[in-house]
Amino acid sequence: MVGVVVKSKLVNFLVTGVEVNYDRVGAVYDIVGSGDVDVLARVMKSFEKAYGGLWVGGKMLLTETAVHLSANVLNRMVQKGSLDIEIPLELIRNVCNEGGFFTKVIRLDTDAGSVKFRCYGAKEVVALIERYQKLHSEAVRVAG
């Protein structure tokens, strides 16, 4: 990670291609004494079909040059796949808020596709990303 951290938020972010290790989930359920892994598997598969991926809990770091999304320890224990995402600010073409029930979804559009994450205070996060995009593009223009 390069740059000073401007904002840190707990988030859920949408990840495609994540595989859940249900054996590990079952082991956790055995330790706490509750849960049905088969029911969870069916729910997770329906979520993945509806959303095009799984929502992964973790953290968002906004630096002066990029947005970084990383999964928390629990998700890393039971899932494998691309659990860390870094989007350089210069690759973001559009930032917007989408609807949400308790938290709003922030969508970052790039030429390669969109990245979505949800958090409390989404309006402030969108404004900060837009502000640092502008500052970064001005710095690149001046340096170039």
- Whose tokens are 């596709």? That residue is 113
* Angstrom distances, CA of residue 41 to CA of 33, 58, 86: 18, 21, 28
CATH 2.30.29.30 fits 5-19+55-143, yes or no: yes
Q: Where are the domains of the chain?
A: 5-19+55-143
User: What are the pLDDT digits (tens) for 118-128?
Assistant: 999 999 999 99
pLDDT band at 49 (very low <50, low <70, confident <90, very high): confident
Q: H/E element holding 114?
A: strand 113-119
Q: What is the pTM of this model?
A: 0.84
Residues 38 and 29: beta-carbon distance below 8 Å? no
